[in-house]
Structure 1
Amino acid sequence: MSRAYPEGPPEKVFVPNAPPVPTPKIYKYAALFTLVLQTTSIILLLRVSRTASGVKYLSSTAVAVTEVLKVLICLAVMLVQSGGSVVEVVRSLHAEIWLKPVETLKLLIPAALYTIQNNLLFLALSHLDAATYQVTYQLKILTTAIFSVTMLSKRIASHQWIAVLLLTIGVALVQMPAGTDATVKKKEGNTLIGLTAVIAACFSSGFSGVYFEKLLKSSKTSLWIRNIQLGAFSIIIALAGVIVADWAAVREGGFFQGYNWLTWVVITFHGVGGIIVALTIRYADNILKCFAGAVSIILSCVISYVFLNDFIPTMVFTLGTFMVIVATFVYGYEKPTPTDHVLKP
């Protein structure tokens, strides 16, 4: 496997005579396309798993198990890349993690934020309807753009800022709540808790995502090593969260209480999703990742209408869909001259 970097020639990992690989642009669009499919699937699966009858699984344990799975996936990929050499994998881990403690500790911040963010989103979904949750969570697009400019000194053209604003408005229109007054009154009591949780998650998502992007793109450390570093810290923090929040429930019903085949499917999709997001950040950027998430929301609504028969598209939905599509093309448009007018932070 090889990866291309703008600052130098491709770095080869483990395989000395690696075959040619697709260009970074192909990687970018492949990662974004896969992310859209994964995000759409997980939304539908998570909805079913949290509304199914029976004993509910603890979200804190699901977050911890997801991080364990992500680390195992990365180790498996490294093992394949090394030609099945466990010794080579151990040497790489020792060289990149144990012998570089400062580099490893840099992952503590995003690990903590990602873990907190995942638990905040479970909390938000417990107190908000799906539409309100999805609309509010699109604030991460704006926070990501702002952190990209301030932390990465990324030059975002004026038309791209317009696209970000257009996308946010479009997704808000698509997810405009259409509940009755009775439905609104029923959820009023816990709305503040849910909104606070999802807004906090938006800022966490924006900062941690850009921070992780900076680490990935400022170092030649393997993506899989970075994810193992991130996952190791996340496991520790997630288990601490289980002890603090749900230890009494775990002692009474067990760590895996409420788990069934659907729970494991959700965990698997979440684990794979973490890797896909990391690939997207590596080969694209955080803002494009947010656009992929927005497209997946629209796709989820379409699937709900066609297959689940629990959603009826309106003129507002159609308008929002059009705005998101236009915004996606506007953001990706590159002007032919290098004298683009840009907005500075």
Structure 2
Amino acid sequence: MENYEDVSQNDIESLHGKPLSGVISNSTPSSLGGSTKSSWKLKSIVTLALTLLTSSQAILIVWSKRAGKYEYSVTTANFSVEALKCALSLVALAKIWRSQGVTEDNKLSTSFDEVSVYPIPAILYLIKNLLQYYIFAYVDAPAYQILKNLNIISTGVLYRIILKKKLSEIQWAAFILLCAGCTTAQLNPSSDHVLQTPFQGWVMAIIMALLSGFAGVYTEAIIKKRPSRNINVQNFWLYIFGMIFNLIAIVVQDYDEVMNKGFFHGYSFITVCMILNHALSGIAVSMVMKYADNIVKVYSTSVAMLLTAVVSVFLFGFHLSLAFFLGSTVVSVSIYLHSIGKPQPQK
């Protein structure tokens, strides 16, 4: 799901001792090759894909701007992302239907009670995704990659409050390190301003983290309510509501522009790549969580932060300061500690 990084499929799978249906198919690594070599190859491919997609996400958003502004409608871009993900979910379901047939857990028809829970995370993701474009008025791509890790804190706290999920001392320590790392990376020694990111940027980053965290925790609760349900079906309904709310946003915010200039006005090759990147990023995360594990995803996220910074040096003239490098390192360590610090079940 969108941002699926907040939802640990491993946790969900452990509830019933068997894996859920995957985003691309219901097959497991063993069924895809059976050998350790093929399993390692698959993990390497999906991890590399996630790293490249994550690191290029912010870069593509910044790159899609012309003269400091977006020539295209960000609401239509968001709608296109949701529509593409919905189509990919249907393609995955079609493959499953051909191989396994239509079952109670993978059919699209459902009850009102099941569908009625999806509008809440869909509208939260809508607001978060719109903010994702406007935050670049205050931060650059590397800073965004650092600040968006604040959703780990919001997710952890909301896990504790909403799902009553216990956090270990290591995870709480990781939260403190994460805050310290994000702050260190933003230090500006060459200016009177202590932090490079202005106050508005921090506010938007915190709001995005809260929205992403709450939407992720709420989505996990939905999945756990019926763990046998095929995740492609759940994704489909989430994306349907995402499309509906983005359509409303288009009418409210960009109706005249879209009617006069067209839905795809201002789109460039970079814009299309950005939309494709956003859609595939969510799928790549789900694949990593299914075919690899959370540790692999953590390393991928950490490498993506540094890769974004290095690429931004050449594309946007970003200055890779010592403070940013140290802050990135601390953030990477905190993410790793949060991952390995998961409380062990009582025997």
Q: TM-score range with shorter-chain normalisation? A: 0.7 to 0.9
**Map of 1:342 onto structure 2:** none
The C-alpha deviation readout for 1:70-113, integer Å capped at 9, x for no partner, is 0111111122233379xx5xx56997443322112211111111
Q: How does 1:229-244 map to 2 (within 5 A)?
A: 229-244=237-252
Q: How does 1:290-309 map to 2 (within 5 A)?
A: 293=301, 295-305=303-313, 307-308=314-315
> 2 CA distance for matches of 1:208 and 1:241?
19
Unaligned runs of 5+ in 2: 1-9
Residue of 155, 161, 166 corresponding to 1:150: 161
Correspondence 1:273 to 2:288: no
Residue of 253, 259, 263 corresponding to 1:251: 259
Q: How does 1:107-122 map to 2 (within 5 A)?
A: 107-122=118-133
Change over 3 Å in CA distance of 1:30–1:110 after alignment to 2: farther
**Map of 1:213 onto structure 2:** 220
Q: How does 1:60-99 map to 2 (within 5 A)?
A: 60-83=75-98, 88=101, 91=102, 96-99=107-110
Normalised by the length of structure 1, the TM-score is 0.77
**Map of 1:174 onto structure 2:** 185
Normalised by the length of structure 2, the TM-score is 0.77
- Report the Cα offset of residue 282 of structure 1: 6.7
- Report the Cα offset of residue 18 of structure 1: 10
Change over 3 Å in CA distance of 1:18–1:204 after alignment to 2: closer
- Report the Cα offset of residue 213 of structure 1: 2.0
- Report the Cα offset of residue 29 of structure 1: 8.6
Change over 3 Å in CA distance of 1:196–1:248 after alignment to 2: farther
> 1 CA distance for matches of 2:161 and 2:296?
17
Unaligned runs of 5+ in 1: 340-345
> 1 CA distance for matches of 2:253 and 2:271?
20
Q: Percent identity?
A: 29
Q: Higher mean Cα deviation, 204-213 or 146-155? A: 146-155
Query: Once superposed, what is the RMSD of the aligned Cα atoms?
Result: 4.2
The answer as to whether partners of 2:75 and 2:130 remain within 8 angstroms in 1 is yes
- Tell me how many residue pairs correspond in the alignment: 327
Change over 3 Å in CA distance of 1:157–1:320 after alignment to 2: same
**Map of 1:312 onto structure 2:** 319
> 2 CA distance for matches of 1:55 and 1:314?
28
Correspondence 1:38 to 2:46: no
The answer as to whether partners of 2:21 and 2:231 remain within 8 angstroms in 1 is no
Correspondence 1:56 to 2:57: no
**Map of 2:210 onto structure 1:** 203
Change over 3 Å in CA distance of 1:221–1:284 after alignment to 2: farther
> 1 CA distance for matches of 2:104 and 2:83?
16
The C-alpha deviation readout for 1:12-32, integer Å capped at 9, x for no partner, is 799899963589x98999766
- Report the Cα offset of residue 292 of structure 1: 5.2
**Map of 1:322 onto structure 2:** 329
- Report the Cα offset of residue 312 of structure 1: 3.4
The answer as to whether partners of 2:163 and 2:221 remain within 8 angstroms in 1 is yes
The answer as to whether partners of 1:44 and 1:300 remain within 8 angstroms in 2 is yes
> 2 CA distance for matches of 1:96 and 1:61?
29
- Report the Cα offset of residue 239 of structure 1: 0.4
User: Which of structures 1 and 2 has the larger relative contact order (alpha carbons within 8 angstroms, sep 6+)?
Assistant: 2
Q: Which amino acid aligns with 1:43?
A: A
> 1 CA distance for matches of 2:44 and 2:154?
23
Secondary structure, counterpart of 1:227 in structure 2: helix
- Report the Cα offset of residue 228 of structure 1: 0.3
Q: Which amino acid aligns with 2:98?
A: G
- Report the Cα offset of residue 167 of structure 1: 2.5
